[in-house]
Amino acid sequence: MSPAGGNGHTTTQPSGGRGSTASSGIVTILARALREETLSPGEIGALLAAGPRDRPALFAAADEMRRRHVGDDVHLRGIIEFSNYCRNNCLYCGLRRENRRVKRYRMEPVEITDAARQAVNMGFKTIVLQSGEDPYYNGDVLARIVSEIKELDAAVTLSVGDRRREEYELWRRAGADRYLLKHETADPELFARLRPGTTLSQRLKRLYWLRELGYQVGSGNMVGLPGQTTEILAADLLLLKELDVEMAGIGPFIPHPETPLGKCPPGDWQLSLKVLAVARLLLPKAHLPATTALGTVHPRGREMGLKCGANVVMPDATPLQYRAHYQIYPGKAGLEADTRRILAELHKMIHSLGRRVAADYGHTPKWENIISGRNYYAPMGTGHLY
């Protein structure tokens, strides 16, 4: 791709900058983005290609868009990784079924709800239940777990992969508020190569099911996958905009040594920040996490993410005896730390940025959908948002 606007004269960056200068082409694109005008794939590519001179303006614009639409609150969501069994064989994932060196575990339902109760007692208002694609937990089992966690006065996000529509509906009726199903890459051929036996169209079908069933829908992609291009990254962002997601998880690819991609280079953290920033410009009201992967590839990754448009952090609330075995990638941040200590450090970091820890459930700010009668987010069979 030949990025647009890369050779213009210098000018002051858009509002929200920090005194640096950026090329006129980038300034023009960012001004359009801040007016919430539609950006072309070429303009998105130009932002993704921003060099040291232009990055501060991009990050400042994303931070301004974040402040304007979702405010200064940072939502802390406690993630419980309850099973590392997976029926899939994705080339990039340490949980792939052919990895014989991972110590497999499954948490009992009572362990899951106990972990959720402890997390709620620590102050978490959202519990994220994540696992490999493990059919051991059938629709009824997960529905009961969701229902019990809802009784704790917490929102529930599920992230358990590709399942039948009937199961998605069952969990929605049990009270699940959100579902995270990353598309990983918007390129159909790359998707099929990295995820043998699956297709991008099948994944997109499920994302539309989730929307129809009234979930707050999350998706997202990795940055730096082998075979990925700037054009593919731009397509990822445009797909997220087309899906109109309520959440978008974007983080760097980190190779796992026990996978076919184990010797590939990791994704670049600076490019990951640029993709995150452009996502904020395209998705003003979405919840965007400063991902654990970003915090793994750089010690200040989460902090930098929060300065580039992010407004969510997802600390690990998995019991310590299981945490080290949920290795999608190696070296994950926070593996051995007590969750309370992690929370204390996050509170300190968030306050140092002039931000505050949110005290609400962190539902989508797209309130106009409800006001206009498009009540996507009320639990099925009720008239209430939560």
Q: Which residues are annotated as a binding site for (3R)-3-methyl-D-ornithine?
A: 159
Collect contacts of 38-45 with beta carbons under 8 A, ≥24 apart.
Answer: 39/281, 39/282, 40/4, 41/231, 41/234, 41/235, 41/238, 42/1, 42/3, 42/4, 43/4, 43/5, 44/234, 44/237, 44/238, 44/278, 44/282, 45/1, 45/3, 45/4, 45/230, 45/231, 45/234
On whether the CB atoms of residues 230 and 48 are closer than 8 A, the answer is yes
Which pair of structure tokens corresponds to residue 195?
């995820």
**Residues of the binding site:** 86, 90, 93, 159, 184, 195, 203
Binding residues for [4Fe-4S] cluster: 86, 90, 93
Q: DSSP for 132-186?
A: SS-TTS-HHHHHHHHHHHHTTS-EEEEE--S--HHHHHHHHHHT--EEE---B-S
Binding-site residue numbers for S-adenosyl-L-methionine are 184, 195, 203
* DSSP string for residues in 335-386: SSS-HHHHHHHHHHHHHHTT-EE--S----S-HHHHHTT---SSPTT-S---
Q: Round to whole Å and give the CA distance between 119 and 319.
A: 10
